[in-house]
Amino acid sequence: MIVRPTENWFRLLFVWNGSVLQSIIPQLVFMAVISIIAAFTHGRIFGEKIPLNTAPFTLFGLALAIFLAFRNNASYGRFNEARHLWGGLLISTRALTSQILCYVPDQANKLQLTQMTIAFVYALKHELRGTDPMPDFVRLLGLDQAEQLRLKHYKPTALLNEIRRELAQSELRARAGETTLWMLDAQINELGAAVGGCERIASTPVPFSYSVLLHRTVYAYCIMLPFGLVDSTEFFTPLLCVFISYTLIALEAIASEVAEPFTVAPNALALDAMARNIERSVLELCGRPLPEAVAPIRLYHLT
């Protein structure tokens, strides 16, 4: 996620880090070459004039813009839902930690349960990104418990099950009461619902045929555009076509990037920072020292 201070209007014109421009430069160079060829040949290919004008491009461009808007809305909907799920994760972990600290009688159980809650958050982060959770497990749970989790396929669910099992022990049930256990169990269910929601987003991409159709349409429009504009814009054709191509191709690139909110792309969610924020919040409730917050790297890129 790009986190940077608000820029004035002039500096914002030249922002490089956080823009998709750097990822679409090859496509823009290709469009510039096509536009230059169209300008120097006056819209001819092998001596034959391409019979195009601005009228169909105006109508088709409007339809394409609407199509791109729907695609971006669908992609941002996935991003926004993922952010809401992680926001709910923060709320539920705080509530569960507070209830554990207030209602669990044994101090050793409190420490173990809060560490497992933090480990659950990191397990979900690593599952969504396909990274190795073992260093965080060893740091939070110790080597023995980390090795037990290594063989689990759904590690966040396994940790939630361990938390529920610890809370359901007969001694704790007798001292805390059924009502308190029901309240604790409700928070665990909220965490489980967040896991399921994140897994649904991660395992259900935007339909491939939909993406292919948009991709082909954008590039077909951009390639034909110089031959439709050259008669009216002449040697300004490359400049206009590259600018229009930048707008359309960048919108498609942004939609593709935002549709996968759990990656480490510049415009994806900052799962490292959010997981560390949850850890810091839980530890503060426990009155324990806090680790450093995750800072942006590579010029405003927060992972």
Confidence tier at 2 by pLDDT (50, 70, 90): low
Answer positive or negative: Cα dihedral of 129, 187, 292, 288. Answer: negative
Confidence tier at 172 by pLDDT (50, 70, 90): low
pTM: 0.87
Task: Please tell me whether residue 44 adopts helix, strand or coil conformation.
Answer: strand
Closest CA to 299 of 21, 32, 19: 19
Q: What angle do CA 53, 55, 56 make, to 5 degrees?
A: 90
| Ranges 7-21, 58-72, 124-138, 262-276, most confident | 124-138
Whole-angstrom Cα distance, residue 148 to residue 211? Answer: 41
78 within 8 A of 259, measured Cβ to Cβ: yes
Among 46-50, 73-77, 189-193, 258-262, name the one with the lowest average pLDDT.
46-50
Confidence tier at 295 by pLDDT (50, 70, 90): confident
Q: Which sequence spans correspond to the domains of the chain?
A: 23-45+52-285
